[in-house]
Structure 1
């Protein structure tokens, strides 16, 4: 199977059309076996879905055989959930993300299990704090650096969840933790975004204090 770093190199989340072209080209590359092509196909489906072509993405995911390779099966669940969520059917996506998280954990696919919990927080906003804290607890037990980088995203997401609820002091702690993890394992972009979130949260705290 493909490692996450290989897939990361093919992704450009700022340009899903470019990502689509990259995954199509990779699937034609003779160096990949059938299971790896199936895994690439799940990411192609994601790239298509990000462009709003939900029915096409769903049809592609339907065509992938994930029965013989469990990791492919997890990715199908995860990407089908993303397509549903992006298409305005978040409630239908929740059980798919739950299945993906459970199966990913069972298989030891830590990155996919965490990604699934992260998506649950997005699709189930009422319980976003619970899902994100569960993801943080899970991520704290992993050791692989690329997977541990989820700490940046998760602390940032929890920060915004708390900020939206008006819990600015708690949110600030999360943004500061996101910055610390970004400086340790993240990208320059993540460091920059964490700094901006801290500044915005400090402004919110100051504004809240001035109205008391």
Structure 2
């Protein structure tokens, strides 16, 4: 079952998503159903950076939600996402917590999916790294124990988030374990092939930081071959792993590709000499 509205989403095509949700809004027979759809239309506004318009739709949804816990959870969840995307994670945190508690209290079939979504958002706005990891593990435990296949599917995203937090905490071995589990989850769902190269990249980065480039390189080479478009982060990691393996000649081409691609997609890259200098050296510039 999962989220009854999730199938209307295409995160790579917000215009189509808006059209589908608008059509669903017109066909919903009751106020609470319309409220749920309005929260999803508000999320589209949020992804477009249209926060005031998103708030207006959440206000409309709240007026229709009544006392149904999962519907109120959706209202708080999407209002929280608007706050976070608008640059106010502190304001988002109590909204996400409220969404989590409300969804946990509902027996509706969509409630477990919404609860895990809310817990994962609570994790993302925690100011302390240990609290981020704790909430991610809470969400992961609920996803793993669910009888709903769509709820269990959350594991890939949650394990990925946990891995990056562990890497930031200086625990590369634990991060590698999380990333490998995330990759296994991605491979188990071939309907989302774009997520597999990203998962391989994370595994390879942890391996490189552990000083194991011989294991990282096959993952990266496969990821480059699997990617639908050139990816600057993949080429950067590939160049660094070749260099660590003592293969500077092989590192030159991906280093050049990384230097060409990353300024256009990573705003922090050009000013970060710790990243640009090794690539310039490997590229022979």
Q: Given the two structures, how large is their TM-score scaled by the length of structure 1?
A: 0.88
Range that drifts further, 3-12 or 48-57:
3-12
Is 1:159–2:155 an aligned residue pair? no
**SS state of the match for residue 107, structure 1?**
coil
Residue 77 to residue 52, structure 1, CA distance change in 2 (3 Å)? same
How far 1:185 moved relative to its partner?
Answer: 4.4
Is 1:23–2:25 an aligned residue pair? no
- Runs of 4+ with >6 A deviation: none
Range that drifts further, 165-174 or 78-87:
165-174
Distance 1:33 1:70 in 2: 19
Matches within 5 A, 1:61-210: 61-64=58-61, 65-108=64-107, 109-126=111-128, 127-185=131-189, 187-206=192-211
Task: Structure 1: state its 5+ residue gaps.
Answer: none
Q: Which has the higher contact order (CA 8 A, sep 6+)?
A: 1
**SS state of the match for residue 12, structure 1?**
coil
Find the structure with the greater CA-based Rg: 2
Range that drifts further, 174-183 or 109-118:
174-183
Is 1:41–2:45 an aligned residue pair? no
**SS state of the match for residue 33, structure 1?**
coil
Distance 2:201 2:5 in 1: 28
Is 1:55–2:88 an aligned residue pair? no
Q: What is the CA RMSD across the aligned residues, in angstroms?
A: 2.0
* 1:99-146 Cα shifts (integer Å, max 9, x gaps): 111111111411111100100111114121111011112222211111
**SS state of the match for residue 25, structure 1?**
helix
How far 1:167 moved relative to its partner?
Answer: 1.5
Distance 2:50 2:33 in 1: 23
Contact 2:163 2:179 in 1 (8 A): yes
Distance 1:26 1:154 in 2: 29
Aligned length: 205
